[in-house]
Structure 1
Amino acid sequence: MLLIMRYVFSLLLMMICYTTAQGQFSDSVHYYGKFSSLGSINRTQDGRSYLLNNNFRVGVSKKKIALNGSGGWVYGEQDSVKTNNDFAASMDFSLFRAVRQIYYWGLANYDKSYSLKINDRFQGGGGIAYNVLDRKGAYLSLSDGILFENSDLFLEDTIRDVYHTFRNSFRLGYKFVIHDIIIIDGTHFLQNSLSHGSDYNIRSTSNLSILLRKWLSITATMTYNKLNRTARENLLFSYGLTIEKYF
């Protein structure tokens, strides 16, 4: 499994280097960076809770190919009892997204989650996507593909479940900009195991941002995750600042 992860990440790294090197001879290369620091605090006479939600995303793109890396960490406590300690990192690429209505994508993802009882999980695969809308101020995309998943889960506190499966991964992604001030965007995944009908994952993230500057915004984020195999789910609402820059 470790060999597969090394191969996928090495392939993506070589593609980034190739894209950057070729930029000076063909179409220009564009770079992207985004960082958000969100959270929530609740304190009363009966108790207290807090949640920290930090995320970043970086990317490099040309006319025909785009590559991105992202990561996130969520930590939460309620009355001094840990509720969240969730980490995720991923790399993805898209081919012909900017020039065709139908394009190709690939993904490698690793995550750990205290709240969802994920000790280790790796997903890697690819598929095709369709741009329903792709214009300034309005973007809507549907995608589908096959992912290989290797997981180490906790069914109970002391019962480990180590297994692998292939999943169908369906995604809805969108972004809408209203009057160059309000941004609504989100990504929503449904991932069904191809071998076990009751084994599915749901991951949904929705964002509402109000621009203070071109590069700075106030953001509210709603995230929902469900892992049916462990019968665990979480719903996170957080707000804070987002820094976003194209260069």
Structure 2
Amino acid sequence: MSKLKIIVSLITFLAHTMFAYAQFNDSTHHYIKYSTTGIVNKTNSANSFVLSNALRYSLKKNRTALNSNNSWVYGIQKKLVTNNDFNSTLDFNILHKDSSAFYYWGLLNYDISTSLNINSRIQSGLGVAYSFIDNNNWFVNLSTGFLYEHSNIQNTDDIKTQYSTTRLSARFRYRLALSSNIVLDGTHFYQPSLQYSNDYIIKSINTLTVKVRKWLGVTAAANYNKISYTNRENLIITFGFTAEDFF
């Protein structure tokens, strides 16, 4: 059995085990968040738009959590598709038995991206994380681990290439409540290949949300991605709405 199949099987088993255990317990907590943002530009000579949709669902029980994140970005400029980017991630967290700040994580991710020349990519991995601050106003978290990746891409010569690699994955997350109604949060990744020195991934997401209701906010988002292997990058700045609820 390949490394990829082993890691995927392990993560799938653990995720199903956690979900089955949590969904029948009264103390289980759920969180759902949906955001839709975009930009439309219309002139006499050309029209363009970018629409971004994201859905997050979290299920927590005591010292475990299961998270699902899905996003889709679609853009057109001068009647040409510039973005058709889909990402789906399933991950789990297990707190260390002697700490409320240190936890283990596992991840399974699938994405395709027209703008980054990714026909398909799957990543799976395991690692550890530590929350330096975690309160109502501040959240600061750093994680690291290893990912196994298999990709089908368009290389710099526009030729389809399939390749696999193992990556170090470093992630920095923060959340800052500037006031009771204004929240700034971000997630930043750096994922260099352990086999190829010129192969790395950079991903940065920042959002600023102003709440107009307890469950509804106006959001500005900046999303940056760079894939060195395909020599492609994108920067998307959008505005829209975010709805979220705990239950």
Counterpart position of 1:226 = 226
Q: Does the alignment pair 1:13 with 2:12?
A: no
Deviation by residue 1:19-67 (Cα, 9 ceiling, x = unmatched): 223x24xxx1100000011110011123121001000000100220111
CA distance in 1, matches of 2:91, 2:215: 23
Counterpart position of 1:39 = 38
CA distance in 1, matches of 2:28, 2:217: 25
Counterpart position of 1:55 = 54
Letter in 2 for 1:218: V
Letter in 2 for 1:187: T
Counterpart position of 2:239 = 239
TM-score (normalizing by structure 2): 0.93
Letter in 2 for 1:155: N
Q: Which moved more, 1:156-165 or 1:33-42?
A: 156-165
Deviation by residue 1:76-125 (Cα, 9 ceiling, x = unmatched): 01111110000010101111179522211111100000000001100001
In the TM superposition, 1:58-137 aligns within 5 A as 58-96=57-95, 100-137=100-137
CA distance in 2, matches of 1:9, 1:86: 24
Cα RMSD, aligned residues only:
1.7
Counterpart position of 2:203 = 203
Letter in 2 for 1:14: T
Structure 1: runs of 5 or more not aligned: none
Aligned residues: 243
Letter in 1 for 2:133: L
Preserved CA contact (<8 Å) 1:65 1:97: no
CA distance in 1, matches of 2:185, 2:10: 32
Counterpart position of 2:178 = 178
Deviation by residue 1:135-192 (Cα, 9 ceiling, x = unmatched): 1111000010001101111115751110111100000001111221000001000000
Letter in 1 for 2:81: K
